[in-house]
Each structure stands twice: as C-alpha cells, then as structure tokens.
C-alpha cells in the first residue's frame, strides 16, 4: 500500500489545490504501480505552522511563500 506524504506550510494551498495535489500524486503513482492499486494509494497532506519551517538558515512563512509564488521576494 503506497503512502505519499506531502508537507506544506499552512494556508499556502487552498482546499481545491490540495485536492489537485492528491489526485495528481495518486495518478503519478498509479502510472507506475498499475490501476489496480489506486484504491490502496494513500496521500497525506500535513501542514506545518508558518515560520516553523526553514531552509537556507531562514524561517519560511506563509507570506514568504505567497510572495515567492508571485515572483516577489519578501
């Protein structure tokens, strides 16, 4: 039973976008493992609080992710 875990910063993705993530990751896995395992493929999206995730020595916030997605720097 495949388990795909996705970690994101809270309030970055809408419920619709999270649904897309689940659908597309499931589709990608099924393309490898075969259609019969679709019902057994699990995708879990875990949200991390804004500021509790960092890279490059800097805490990443929801606002910073939104700015990055818009092509701006915070």
pLDDT tens per residue across span 2-60 = 999 999 999 999 999 999 999 999 999 999 999 999 999 999 999 999 999 998 898 99
> What's the chain's Rg over C-alpha atoms?
15
Q: What is the pLDDT of residue 50?
A: 95
Alpha carbons within 13 A on the beta-carbon side of 19: 3
| Domains of the chain as residue ranges with CATH | 3-69 (3.30.429.10)
List strand residue ranges (DSSP E) for the chain, in order: 3-9, 42-48, 53-55, 58-60
Output the pTM of the full model.
0.85
Q: What is the mean pLDDT of residues 69-73?
A: 85
The pLDDT of residue 1 is 84
Band of residue 74 on the pLDDT scale cut at 50, 70, 90: low
CA distance 18 to 15: 5
């Amino acid at each position: 039973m495949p388990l795909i875990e996705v970690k994101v910063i809270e309030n970055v993705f809408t419920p619709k976008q999270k649904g897309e993530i689940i659908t597309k990751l499931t589709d990608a896995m099924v393309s490898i493992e075969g259609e019969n395992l679709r019902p057994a493929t699990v995708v879990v999206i875990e949200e991390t609080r804004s500021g509790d995730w960092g890279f490059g020595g800097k805490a990443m916030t929801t606002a910073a992710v939104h700015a990055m997605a818009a092509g701006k720097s915070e």
